[in-house]
Amino acid sequence: MYQIKLDAPDDFEGWRAAARRLARADVPPERIIWSVETAGSGSADDLFAEAFSGAGRPDMDGSESADAAPFAISRAFLDLAQTALLHSDPARFALLYMLLLRTRRAPHALHDKADPLVRRVEALAQAVRRDKHKMRAFVRFREIGNGDDAERHFVAWFEPDHHIVRANAGFFVRRFPNMRWSILTPATSIHWADGILREGPGANRSDAPDGDPVEDLWKGYYSAIFNPARLKVGAMLSEMPKKYWRNLPEAALIPALIAGAQAREAAMIAAAPRKERLSQERMSR
């Protein structure tokens, strides 16, 4: 058995380098144990595994030896792998390695969208893309500071499903380059200030501010833009599942808006003057 330890759960470059060496040496997937280096790990190591460094084998030391066969992998595979690797499923490294071996034998393998392995990896990538998109949508910054422009700092707390935070940082930089902001998550945190993006350790919800004066306006807007005459709770839930609600200030209003909706619509109809009801009857004839 070979043991491959990656530096981080989203260590694509590490996976890529290891997978390249393993694939060159034709190591079958079932002989590899993939894991992620964590502080203080070691006890969980497989006792029968050996570290796969490739030391002493010229084709495995990471450098391209002159007689090595060219190792060409399609852009499509790399794009897919780079996304799918951010999934929280521990099997992702092995699945991607299996798919890598297959695309080496059959370059068109990725085109067979009905193939179960391709399907499974595509599903991982799809879940990651959705999680990234939801983070862009549902991060809510809260301002701390004393109103002095130089002191303004916007802080958000977010709980992603997958290892997307680093990969998503660029979006927030492109959108808010002139703000000082931090996004705190359980596994990692990112901070932007003075044109520099820094990473920090995971945080707790209590590390983030618990309110912002503009939130009241936002909640007022959320209630007012809702049309009680067309309640569609299922449609809301499919795009904004309850797991996100606890970090969305406006979500606290939802139960009352739903409960009040039918009463409000009935009141509008009841309030219509009697003359209108007559004209309604005329129209329907």
Partner 1 sequence: MAWLDTRQKLEILADAAKYDASCASSGTAKRQSTRGAKGGIGSTEGMGICHAYAPDGRCISLLKILLTNSCVFDCHYCINRKSSNVRRARFSVEEVVDLTLAFCRRNYIEGLFLSSGIIRSPDYTMERLVAVARSLREDHGFRGYIHLKTIPDADPDLIREAGLHADRISINVELPTQAGLTRLAPEKSSARIEGAMGRMQAEMIDSADARKRYRKAPRFAPGGQSTQMIVGADAANDRTIIDRASSLYGRFGLRRVYYSAFSPIPAASAVLPLSRPPLIREHRLYQSDWLMRFYGFSAQDVGNATDADTGNLPLDIDPKLAWALKHRDSFPVDVNRAPRTMLLRVPGLGVKAVNAILHSRRWRSLRLEDVGRLTTSVAKVRPFLIAADWRPVALADRADLRPRVTPPPRQLDLFGA
Contacts with partner 1 in 251-280 (CB under 8 A)? 254, 257-258, 261-262, 265, 268-269, 271-273, 275-277, 279-280
With respect to partner 1, which residue has the nearer C-beta, 8 or 218? 218
Q: Is 175 in the site for partner 1 (CB under 8 A)?
A: yes
In the complex, minimum distance from the CB of residue 269 to partner 1, in angstroms, rounded to a whole number: 6
Q: Which of residues 225-244 bind partner 1 (CB under 8 A)?
A: 225-236, 239-240
Stretch that binds partner 1, among 25-33, 61-69, 199-207, 224-232 (CB under 8 A): 224-232
With respect to partner 1, which residue has the nearer C-beta, 71 or 221? 221
Stretch that binds partner 1, among 23-31, 45-53, 95-103, 250-258 (CB under 8 A): 250-258
Interaction pattern, residues 147-166, with partner 1; x per rule: CB under 8 A: -------x-x----------
Tell me, by CB under 8 A, how many residues bind partner 1: 72
With respect to partner 1, which residue has the nearer C-beta, 49 or 258? 258
Query: Which one of residues 58, 90, 200, 220 is an interface residue with partner 1 (CB under 8 A)?
Result: 220
| DSSP state string for the chain | -EEEEESSTT-HHHHHHHHHHHHHTT--GGGEEEEE--TT--TTS-TT-EE---TT-GGGSSS--TTSPP----HHHHHHHHHHTTSS-TTHHHHHHHHHHHHHH-TTGGG-TTSHHHHHHHHHHHHHHHHHHHHHHH---EEES-S-GGG-EEEEE---SSS-HHHHHHHHHHH-TTS-EEEE-SSEEEEEETTEEEEEE---GGGS-S--THHHHHHHHHHHH--GGG--HHHHHHHS-GGGGGG-GGGGGHHHHHHHHHHHHHHHHHHS-HHHHHHHHHHH-
Q: Which of residues 118-137 bind partner 1 (CB under 8 A)?
A: 119, 133, 136-137
